């Protein structure tokens, strides 16, 4: 009887752990999306200020390729966000919950009983 209670407890704990892991993953993914939006906005802001600076100094934007400037800005601003992204992905992998091995547990107990 005690083993049944133990198995039921394992199942309930697994369900609770699975719920908490799911909510943690959602939270991490939401944070990653917010970071990506923040990074994009930062790049746009820096690009706009750079255009304004060039315009104020009398340089026209015709000779500047927007793609090259944008690529450079992305590479400059991506480093801190990339590290944060890697850490978040690691947290997601760590939040995985292992299923209880009930069948294996039952079979080993059956072997003990049968002997």
Which pLDDT belongs to residue 26?
Answer: 92
Q: Considering all CA atoms of the chain, what is the largest pairwise distance in Å, rounded to the nearest integer? A: 92
Which pLDDT belongs to residue 113?
Answer: 72
pLDDT at 61 over 70: no
Which pLDDT belongs to residue 30?
Answer: 93
Neighbouring C-beta atoms of residue 42, cutoff 10 Å: 15
| CA proximity to 88, closest of 16, 11, 32, 7 | 32
Structure confidence by residue, pLDDT tens digits, 64-110: 666 676 777 777 777 778 888 888 888 888 887 777 777 677 677 66
Q: What is the distance between the alpha carbons of residues 66 and 72, in angstroms, rounded to a whole number?
A: 10
The enclosing H or E element of 109 equals helix 102-114
Q: What is the distance between the alpha carbons of residues 100 and 17, in angstroms, rounded to a whole number?
A: 11
């Amino acid at each position: 009887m005690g083993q049944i209670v133990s198995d039921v407890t394992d199942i309930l704990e697994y369900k609770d752990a699975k719920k908490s892991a799911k909510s943690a993953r959602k939270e991490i993914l939401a944070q990653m999306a917010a970071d990506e939006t923040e990074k994009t906005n930062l790049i746009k802001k820096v690009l706009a200020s750079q255009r304004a600076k060039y315009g104020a100094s009398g340089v026209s934007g015709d000779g500047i390729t927007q793609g090259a400037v944008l690529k450079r800005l992305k590479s400059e601003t991506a480093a801190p966000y990339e590290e944060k992204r890697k850490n978040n992905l690691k947290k997601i992998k760590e939040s995985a919950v292992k299923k209880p091995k009930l069948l294996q547990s039952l079979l080993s107990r059956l072997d003990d009983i049968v002997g």
